[in-house]
Structure 1
Amino acid sequence: MDFLLNEQQKMIIETARKVGGEYGLEYWREIDAKKQFPTEIWKAICESGLAAAALPEEHGGSGLGMLELALIVETLAASGAGSTVGQLFMNNPIFGGVGISRFGTEQMKRDYLPKLVSGEMLFCMALTEPDAGSNSLEIQTFARREGNGFRINGRKIWITGVPQADKVLVIARTQKAEDVKRRTDGITMFLLDRDREGLTHTPIEKVGTNTLTSSMVFLDDVWAGPDEIVGTLDMGWHELLDVLNTERIVTTACLVGTAQLAIELAVKYAGERKVFRGAPIGSYQGLQFPLAEAYAQTETARLMNYKAASLFDSGLPYGSEANIAKLIAGHASAQATDRAMQTMGGMGYAKESYVERLWRDARLFRIAPISEEMILNFISIHNLKMPRSY
């Protein structure tokens, strides 16, 4: 088992570190305050080729893998972006890139992947619903057949990046749940124009991740042509899982980078701050131990995420590893950002210290894109072979 990075991977990390350094902590603080989409850094990410890492070469990608994408996201997060940068990669190289490159038509690949790579097109995915939440098999959005296409009706919630997106990967039932033998049957993915007639959206006020809007999406008799189906009609559930589980890998990467950054900021502050007996507060075990524990959790999540990404790149099952990595990374980022704030005392609560943004943004990812409780359900059932509890 080889834990060493090759020269190409080291170069990718350096490129990500350079781009991230150009748009560091101050940049993210400013656009967070303005609730402004991070247009400039996404343009730089695309121009440097970082968005193309895991996409096929024949459509403008680099032909690398999910491991390289994880390294990129992790490095960008640690360079100042924090966890929000992961959402840019979830929406584009994952929802758009994985969805289209693995399951899209040849026409979709030719038309959209080069524009994704260049940054000309942005994507998002509409899956979660108000009444279904994490139980995606209970979605009610329905695409009824009409002529050679479909009319889609339904509601979606907590959809990230809708206002800027050119295309929305909409997940809908094309067969009623009561009419199928298996709950996983009758689900289809559609790739629709965001400005399609009947598709509207409204923003949700929230605690953090201010640079990417979260929205309610309403689908009222939205037309979808047969050429807009991504993957297999009625049998899209298992294809969707590849999109969702690679999303876990990107989520973990951004949380690992966030935890690393928070720990670095805390250690630096603790090394400079002197309050009692002339010694830096970093010499106190009461501050050292929580940060050391966060560091241990971060390194564990990092390695498990690399394993998940490597398994994906080898065409092997990786769902358990991706979920476990995300669970540990959520704990690590929570511990790191909270204890970094505690280390800084009152200054940790001030926006000028940067930690409060990392803390606010990272908190989301203990709930989304899958909650800790649902990951524990998954481990209990699939890894421990225990009875289903829900």
Structure 2
Amino acid sequence: MAGGIVERVARGEMFFGIASTEPSGGSDVAGIKTRAERDGDSYRVYGEKILISGVREALETLDYGGWLLLARTGGEGHRGLSAFAFTGKWGGRLADGLEYSILDTIGRHGISTGILRLDGVEVPGSRLVGGEGRGFYVAMEGFPLARILVAAANIGAAKWALERAVEWSRERRLFGGRPIASFQGVSFSIAEAFAELEAARLLVYRAAWTADRYVRGEASREELNLYSASAKLKAVDTAFSIFQATMKIIGGISFTKEVDVHRGLLGTLSYLVGAEGAQNIMKYIIARDLIGREYVKL
């Protein structure tokens, strides 16, 4: 990637994410409306991106920040899209024509989420990634890998929640001093959560293994899509379910900020409703690549 972006990210000097989602929709990448118009050796970008991760980190916290930005350089459909290594901030200076705002999300506060508004922002032609008209394919290379990372993060969060449930079930005592773990309503819930978590973990491992095989040319794109979408679907559903079970085990105090389990519930909820693709989109991808594109169409 041009301009020292990778090196700065590796040194922790720069945040670099992806900016594809627009107000009109997130999963319909081929329907992106943001446009990039040729201006000599550069492009002028016009449009709006929403639900973009790292806006505060990229444009306020650090002196360098940007995104892999998808914009339309050609006609309608996926072949008209191009990808740019867009730098919204460089050396402490915000790009001319760029405005942004931070969204007040209900969870996942470890990283900000915001809106980018681009009104003729200049992007050098050297920041074009993969050539004009290749943006959709560049994005499709990254999305399956991002879904595996998201799935793995949800496995880690769910493991933490399950550990809290086990700890609470041992220490909390009721009805004459009995640990609540002695009640099947609690212990069986923990047992089921463990089994679901291990199943989801193995599916994430399978997806990561498939990604390695894909890079080596030993697995097809359809196989990668199938397992990465399956891992995201299963891991996120499982994590959200385990956080719910843990809060039920802890009881009413879990509904307060005195107990921090709610943070995990709201964080996993962000992936349930949309981040890296909504769950129904994962089901569509699985069905499409399992049954066949000629049978399952949008």
What is the TM-score of this pair, normalised by structure 2? 0.89
Determine the structure 2 residue equivalent to 1:283: 182
Q: Which runs of structure 2 are paired with 1:149-168 in the superposition (5 Å)?
A: 149-165=42-58, 166-168=65-67
CA–CA distance in 2 between the matches of 1:361 and 1:311? 27
Determine the structure 2 residue equivalent to 1:351: 257
Determine the structure 2 residue equivalent to 1:184: 78
SS of the residue 1:122 aligns to = strand
Deviation at 1:389, TM superposition (A): 5.1
Determine the structure 2 residue equivalent to 1:70: none
Determine the structure 2 residue equivalent to 1:26: none
Cα gap change, 1:148/1:114 in structure 2, threshold over 3 Å: closer, same or farther?
closer
After superposition, the C-alpha distances for 1:133-182 in whole angstroms (9 at most, x for unaligned) are: 221111100111122221111111100111221122211111120xxxxx
Question: Does the 8 Å contact 1:188/1:236 carry over to 2?
Answer: yes
Question: Does the 8 Å contact 1:161/1:213 carry over to 2?
Answer: yes
* Residue 137 (structure 2) pairs with residue 238 (structure 1): yes
Q: Which runs of structure 2 are paired with 1:148-227 in the superposition (5 Å)?
A: 148-165=41-58, 166-177=65-76, 183-194=77-88, 195-227=94-126
After superposition, the C-alpha distances for 1:55-109 in whole angstroms (9 at most, x for unaligned) are: xxxxxxxxxxxxxxxxxxxxxxxxxxxxxxxxxxxxxxxxxxxxxxxxx3xx44x
Determine the structure 2 residue equivalent to 1:388: 296
Question: How many residues in Structure 1 have an aligned counterpart in Structure 2?
Answer: 278
Question: Does the 8 Å contact 1:162/1:213 carry over to 2?
Answer: yes
Please identify which structure carries the higher strand content: 2
CA–CA distance in 2 between the matches of 1:218 and 1:253? 32
Determine the structure 1 residue equivalent to 2:62: none
Question: Does the 8 Å contact 1:202/1:216 carry over to 2?
Answer: yes
CA–CA distance in 2 between the matches of 1:125 and 1:239? 11
Determine the structure 2 residue equivalent to 1:303: 202
Determine the structure 2 residue equivalent to 1:130: 23
After superposition, the C-alpha distances for 1:218-267 in whole angstroms (9 at most, x for unaligned) are: 01111111101122221221221121111101100110001100000011
Letter in 2 for 1:208: G
Question: Does the 8 Å contact 1:201/1:217 carry over to 2?
Answer: yes
CA–CA distance in 2 between the matches of 1:146 and 1:114? 28
* Residue 245 (structure 2) pairs with residue 339 (structure 1): yes
SS of the residue 1:370 aligns to = coil
Q: Root-mean-square deviation (CA), in Å?
A: 1.5
Q: Which runs of structure 2 are paired with 1:307-322 in the superposition (5 Å)?
A: 307-314=206-213, 315=215, 316-317=219-220, 318-322=224-228
SS of the residue 2:71 aligns to = strand
Determine the structure 1 residue equivalent to 2:61: none
Question: Does the 8 Å contact 1:185/1:234 carry over to 2?
Answer: yes
* Residue 276 (structure 2) pairs with residue 369 (structure 1): yes
SS of the residue 2:258 aligns to = helix
Where do 5+ consecutive residues of structure 1 fail to align? 1-103, 178-182
Letter in 2 for 1:228: R
CA–CA distance in 2 between the matches of 1:184 and 1:306? 31
Where do 5+ consecutive residues of structure 2 fail to align? 59-64, 89-93
Deviation at 1:184, TM superposition (A): 2.4
SS of the residue 1:353 aligns to = coil
Q: Which runs of structure 2 are paired with 1:27-176 in the superposition (5 Å)?
A: 104=1, 107-108=2-3, 111-165=4-58, 166-176=65-75
Question: Does the 8 Å contact 1:297/1:329 carry over to 2?
Answer: no
Question: Does the 8 Å contact 2:225/2:286 carry over to 1?
Answer: no
Q: What percentage of aligned pairs have identical amino acids?
A: 29
Deviation at 1:332, TM superposition (A): 0.8
What is the TM-score of this pair, normalised by structure 1? 0.68
SS of the residue 1:164 aligns to = helix
Letter in 2 for 1:113: V
CA–CA distance in 2 between the matches of 1:309 and 1:211? 24
Question: Does the 8 Å contact 2:152/2:204 carry over to 1?
Answer: yes
CA–CA distance in 2 between the matches of 1:173 and 1:295? 46
Letter in 2 for 1:139: I
